[in-house]
Amino acid sequence: MPTGSNRLLIRSLLFAPANRVELLKKFPRQDADAFVIDLEDGTPESERAAARQQLSQTVQYLRRERLRGLLFVRTNASTSPHADADIEAALGADIDGLLIPKVGGASDVERGGAALTAAEQRGRQRPLILIGLIETVQGVMNVQSLTTADPHLAALAFGGEDYISDIGGRRTAEGLEVLYARSQVVAAAKAAGLAAIDQVVVDIRDDERFRQDAALGRSLGYDGKMCLLPRQVALANDAFSPTPDEIDRSRRLIAAYEAAGAQGRGVIEFEGRMIDPPLLGRARAVLEAASRGILDRR
């Protein structure tokens, strides 16, 4: 959801297939910051038309059950015969926005943005948001230019699995094969003031793998992570929230810095490290995130 600083706060973005109503109905019990009803890859081709027709009813159910967190629909890519019908159905329901897959360039973002503008002109309770999923080589190469294509775009997500399929590579545990693309997507997002949501972890039984991957994503600057199952949501929320130690250390670092400033010293040592504005800025961001973590939950 847009925060005071006008940035989306999504630590966890939980997907479920649009044709699995029994899974979708569990959303209100789950602690994700945002949810995605997936009309695309999660739903078999033969089920997509039927799933689309159920969409409005499912969204009504979720709103009645007071879903916390933002609600998105992943529509099919613009090259699919489903694309137009998906967008129409999604924007006919009371959702917060669209997640557009396989974004390859500015025109994909413009097309999505135009649909949101049209829906807003027909009247909406809340502003609509676009998340662009960058998961092809084309998308990565064009990522810098597409971030400014439409003002509805509020976040980029990076799809490492699709990216590696598209480039013809192989996934490894270490993940060096996507470091370039993953770094480029988060840099383009942040340069444009957008949020950045990191890749899924398909090893759904391996919590340690998820934690390690989330830690790397966070170090790169990502704000949250796409989740395939409810069990990954808690791990993502944890990885993308400040730890008690970080909060404590940030408070002490700021206090030490302010004390030094009062004595006319700008750079001081704190527990063996030099404190300068970058470190200080991170400490302040930790305290801000910690307070938002409580305030921003509906």
Our CB check for its own copies shows the closer of 109 and 164 to be: 164
The verdict on 156 binding its own copies (CB under 8 A) reads no
Q: Which is nearer to its own copies, 131 or 140 (CB)?
A: 140
Residue 257 CA to residue 253 CA, distance in Å, equals: 6
Beta-strand pair 224-227/268-270: unpaired
Closest to its own copies by CB, 114 or 179: 179
Q: Which helix (H) or strand (E) holds 209?
A: helix 207-220
Exactly one of 21, 85, 93, 216 binds its own copies (CB under 8 A); that residue is 216
Compare residues 106 and 187 and give the one whose CB is closer to its own copies. Answer: 187
State the nearest-atom distance from the C-beta of 116 to its own copies, in Å: 26
Q: Does 2 bind its own copies (CB under 8 A)?
A: no
Residue that has been written with the tokens 């929320």 in this structure: 237
Q: Which is nearer to its own copies, 120 or 166 (CB)?
A: 166
Question: What is the smallest separation between the CB atom of 67 and its own copies, expressed in angstroms?
Answer: 21
From residue 202, how far is each of 6, 106, 213 by CA, in Å?
31, 29, 11
- Asked if residue 249 lies in contact with residue 272, where contact means CB atoms within 8 angstroms, the answer is no
Task: Tell me which of 110, 165, 211, 234 binds its own copies, using CB under 8 A.
Answer: 165
Enumerate residues 221-260 that contact its own copies by CB under 8 A. Answer: 221-223, 228, 260
Would you state the structure tokens that stand for residue 207, as one six-digit string?
Answer: 């919590």
CB of 17 to its own copies, least distance (A): 5
Torsion of CA 197, 38, 72, 28, to 10 degrees: -100
Per-residue burial over 196-210, b if 16 or more Cβ lie within 10 Å, else e, is bbbbbbeeeeeeeeb
Give yes or no for residue 203 binding its own copies (CB under 8 A). Answer: yes
